[in-house]
Amino acid sequence: MDRIIISPSKYVQGNGALANIGNYVKALGTKPLILADALVTKLVGDTVATSFHSVGIKPEFDCFNGECSRPEIDRLLVRCNQTPFDVIIGIGGGKTLDTAKSVAFYQKVPVVIVPTIASTDAPTSALAVIYTPEGQFSEYLMIPTNPNMVIMDTGVVSRAPVRLLVSGMGDALSTYFEARANKVSGCQTMAGGASTLAAQAIAELCYKTLLADGYKAKLAVEQGLCTKAVENIIEANTYLSGIGFESSGLAAAHAIHNGLTQLTECHHLYHGEKVAFGTLVQLVLENAPMAEIETVLTFCRSIGLPTNLHMMGVKELDMARLMAVAKASTAEGETIHNMPFKVTAEDVLAAIVTAHQLGL
């Protein structure tokens, strides 16, 4: 199997980076369509428009309707067919960004991704998640290339609710452990091949950065401030984790996340909050050294990630319902089968309950 690493063509990060978006984007196109919801447009619209005007470009804005769905994508494609936009820019949260990726893919034009939060590692990926207009999962759109550019304005991101940054750390926490499992098993990654040394090193650096700067970053963002630790964590949540998961592979932690969606009590949780507990479950499945488990537990507690089912809203341990979680986690095609050993639903049930007890 060939070794493959994939990534955005350009990654830009800095406090106030949006003030320079016009300079960055003009190399890709001069007729941009900017997709953002009403709140984000109010927050950064003037800054973005001013930046484009300063380089002689007149951008057009479109208000995102709130769901990355086929009707929303089709609505925007109609507008693109009426006006020859040569670059699509998505500014905001994950659904806005995935819609921008999708529209750019169908229009065969470059896409620029501008997250206003750092809650997941999805912005750098060659993937969009499409939902029904009612918000139910519909399909994955696999895109042949990663975004042409990702711009992270850390000043904007640091003023978002701290829980979003913490959730991003929960998602990033799994990157190294899932990459490590895939390295042993030799399974194909989302990049379409075996992992590279570079991707493995990036995944490990992601973990080390979380341990070194996660707590400090949380304290700063609680005050709406951007420090060097915040800069490092935003890069870890977005770029290091993004390259790490896509080019080194997913394993048990994300499959456990998917299984936890069986529990209505967990529906209020963010993606990364469930992935963090999934990481603990994966460590139990691997029978990882207790010192490593304690390190992960200490980190999660320090920044407020859930370490047991009670913290996730599950007040009683109903073994039948937890077995439903375990079965969903081990369904055919789930990434838990990238682990370097066979994993059954019974194994997962035992690991969930054990991880819960360890995290009390």
Q: Which of 62, 153, 171, 347 is catalytic?
A: 171
Sheet containing 60-63, strands listed edge to edge, beginning at the edge strand earlier in sequence: 11-14, 149-153, 111-115, 87-92, 32-36, 60-63
Residue 337 appears among annotated catalytic residues: no
Sign of CA pseudo-dihedral 105, 110, 116, 119? positive
Side-chain-facing half-sphere of 246: CA atoms under 13 Å:
24
Of residues 348, 356, 357, 149, the one with CA closest to residue 266: 356
User: Cβ of 290: how many Cβ atoms within 10 Å?
Assistant: 11
Residues 59 and 321: their CA atoms lie apart, in Å, by 51
Residue 171 appears among annotated catalytic residues: yes
Residues 187 and 191: their CA atoms lie apart, in Å, by 11
Residues 244 and 172: their CA atoms lie apart, in Å, by 9
Residues 94 and 271: their CA atoms lie apart, in Å, by 11
Q: Which of 121, 257, 347, 356 is catalytic?
A: 257
Q: Which of 153, 271, 347, 356 is catalytic?
A: 271
DSSP state of 267: T
Residues 210 and 168: their CA atoms lie apart, in Å, by 10
Strands 149-153, 11-14: pairing kind: parallel
Q: Which of 37, 98, 153, 254 is catalytic?
A: 254
> What residues are labeled active site?
171, 254, 257, 271
